[in-house]
Amino acid sequence: MTEFIKKGVHEIGISPDDLLFIGEQKSESVHLSLFHYSPKGYVEKQFTTIAEAAEFAKQEGVTWLNIDGVHCTSLMEEISIAFGLERMVLADAMNTHTRPRFQEFDDCLFVNMKMLKANETKNISADQLSLLFNERLLISFQEEKGVVFEPIRERIRKQRRRISHGGTDFLAFALLDVVIDNYIYVLGEFADEIEVIEDSLFKRPNQRTIIHIKQMKQKLNYIRRTILPARDMIITLNKSDTEYIGDDVNVHYKELEDNIRQATETSESFREILNDQLNLYNSTLNNRLNDTMRFLTVFSVLFIPLTFIAGVYGTNFDNLPELHLTYGYYMMWGLMLVISVTMLFFFRRKKWL
């Protein structure tokens, strides 16, 4: 789960517009899919070459080209030529180690951020999403094929009025909104696990409890390293005065800021809860240790006078006054019992036992 920023030797000194893939390749092949839509209808196609997709970008309406796999340098070259985009934009899309950021170029707007996903075992991973769009074209880059944007595709297929009458700025908002909603969903999965940990803390915490807490803290730190830079990027985007986002859509981008603040606050809240649970575990462990030590101390103190009496009468001197008493043995036991009961009564009165 823990990841550190690393830079390879081949990355040192490269030009900002060099088309070089940086990161872990997560898909063997590149998959191209396209939606072209307007209030009059939509077209959905799968492509093998960029030239086919470029023809749709010349038509009236919104063209959404989704590319799964960002490791193919020749494909990026084709995109740059076919759509007249700066190589620097595509170079940013090929670097999966970049922090979430927003940039405005002469011919498009560029936004990238991380997408979170949880598998069946609730392990968290992140893939980079890059969006570049202008008035009529939006290209989305994902590291591998997924179903995160399927709700957006369904809205286009059903010709929902807001998206079918909207432009690329509204489509970009919808995609970013899904990513942020997914942040909140992944965080929501944490709530159930935190409740499980809390229940185990109040029953009988053990070594598995502390391991569970540490694993949750690692996952949460990973999520926070994803969400916090994305929040900064959204705030910067809202402060910009770009011509690629219309005034009528600006209000929706403000919603993005509210949603990601909610995700940030939730992650902070979970972090505090896990820290409290860790402190509670340590306190519980210390209390159990104190109870054990108190019991052992009382047990030891109880036997000190009894050991003293047994030691005195276990000596081998000939002249022991009580040695030849008929009931001496029983008297010794009686004295021991009286002392034990008296000490127990005293300990309970002092609430030491």
Q: Is the pLDDT of residue 12 over 60?
A: no
The pLDDT of residue 6 is: 55
Residue range 91-116: average pLDDT?
89
Q: Is the pLDDT of residue 174 over 90?
A: yes
Q: Is the pLDDT of residue 151 over 90?
A: yes
CATH number among 1.20.58.340, 3.30.230.10, 1.10.3720.10, 3.40.710.10, domain 292-349: 1.20.58.340
- Out of 39-43, 81-85, 313-317, which region has the weakest mean confidence (pLDDT)? 313-317
What percentage of the chain exceeds 90 in pLDDT?
A: 29
Reading the block at residue 126, the tokens are: 């992140």
Q: Is the pLDDT of residue 120 over 50?
A: yes
Contact 130, 138 (CB under 8 A): no
Reading the block at residue 263, the tokens are: 């995700």
Do strands 62-68 and 101-104 pair parallel, antiparallel, or not at all (unpaired)? unpaired
Task: Give the residue extent of every domain in the chain.
Answer: 9-283, 292-349
The pLDDT of residue 155 is: 94
Q: Is the pLDDT of residue 241 over 50?
A: yes
Q: Is the pLDDT of residue 9 over 50?
A: no
Contact 34, 62 (CB under 8 A): no
Superfamily of domain 9-283: CorA soluble domain-like (3.30.460.20)
| pTM for this model (two decimals) | 0.79
d(CA 352, CA 298): 8
Q: Is the pLDDT of residue 300 over 80?
A: yes
Going from the C-alpha of 87 to that of each of 19, 47, 67, 200, 286, the distances in angstroms are 7, 22, 16, 55, 61
Reading the block at residue 133, the tokens are: 């769009």
The pLDDT of residue 4 is: 47
Write out the chain in H/E/C secondary structure: CCCCCCCCHHHCCCCCCCCCCECCCCCCCCEEEEEEEECCEEEEEEECCHHHHHHHHCCCCEEEEEEECCCCHHHHHHHHHHHCCCHHHHHHHHECCCCCEEEECCCCEEEEEEEEEECCCCCEEEEEEEEEECCCEEEEEECCCCCCCHHHHHHHHCCCHHHHCCCHHHHHHHHHHHHHHHHHHHHHHHHHHHHHHHHHHHHCCCHHHHHHHHHHHHHHHHHHHHHHHHHHHHHHHHHCCCCCCCHHHHHHHHHHHHHHHHHHHHHHHHHHHHHHHHHHHHHHHHHHHHHHHHHHHHHHHHHHHHHHHHHHCCCCCCCCCCCCCCCHHHHHHHHHHHHHHHHHHHHHHCCCC
Nearest to 250 by CA among 162, 170, 145: 170
A 10 A CB-CB count for 331 gives 12
Chain centroid to CA 243: how far? 34
Q: Is the pLDDT of residue 353 over 80?
A: no
pLDDT in tens, 319-331: 778 777 888 888 8
pLDDT in tens, 198-218: 888 877 778 888 888 888 888
pLDDT in tens, 59-89: 889 999 999 999 888 899 999 898 888 888 8
